[in-house]
Amino acid sequence: MPGNFILYNQNNQIYWQLHASGIIIKLRFFTFLLLIFYANSGFAFGLGEIALKSHLGEKLFARVNVTDVDTQPESNCFTVTDESDVPAFKKANITLKPGNADYQLTITTNDVVTEPIVNLRVSFHCESNINREYVLLLDPAPTLDMEKASVAEITGFDSINVADKNTKLPATSVTKKPSAQQADLQDLALPLNKTDPGRTGLTKRTRKKNLTAATSVDE
């Protein structure tokens, strides 16, 4: 009986020791998960869409929105590389500035990009590793003729239209002022004033005199 009691106590002690050890292991595991969750939630951000601002044959210029950021990260935490078989540039310049709601990561190069396709890889490697790849399709720069055509489409007319120079203006009617002789003849052609009989003879003599003077001038 005493031996069985001692064995029972030993087994019970071992059980409780194992049980306590299991609890400690579980607590450590949950603590580890909480630390990971806190670290990710404290600096959880994302890389948004990219906006390409340059053309083929120009230095690369692009912007990436950095979203869900409480505090501004360091620009040294970002790296930009070209994952193509033939890299379009050797080194990229990175600047990070606050935007309207988020932060904007500006990417520029000192080298002129001559490859039409660039496999851009943006990486963040400070507190958590975040990578995103972008495929950039660079279009050729617009020529001067294309710019003139676009301006003509916007304004609705060409800057210089040769056809307009050859277009004749419509003829305008000009009223010719009557001469002094024609004015005198028109005055003589007016009807006599019948309301004043006393001046009828004077008017007739005046008309005859004016007609004689006009005839002599015409000759």
Task: Give the pLDDT band (50/70/90) at residue 23.
Answer: low
DSSP string covering the chain, please? -HHHHHHHHHHHHHHHHHHHHHHHHHHHHHHHHHHHHHHHHHT--EEEEEEE---BTSEEEEEEEEES-SSPPPGGGEEEEE-SSS-S-S-EEEEEEE-SSSEEEEEEEEEEP--SEEEEEEEEESSSEEEEEEEEEPPBPP-HHHHHHHHHHHHSS-SS-HHHHHPPPPP---PPPPPHHHHHHHHHTSPP-TT-GGGHHHHHHHHHHHHHHHHHHH-
Q: Mean pLDDT for the chain?
A: 71
Specify the higher pLDDT residue, 109 or 198: 109
pLDDT of residue 163: 47
Which pTM value belongs to this model? 0.48
pLDDT of residue 49: 93
pLDDT of residue 162: 42
pLDDT of residue 111: 92
Task: Give the pLDDT band (50/70/90) at residue 192.
Answer: very low
pLDDT of residue 100: 78
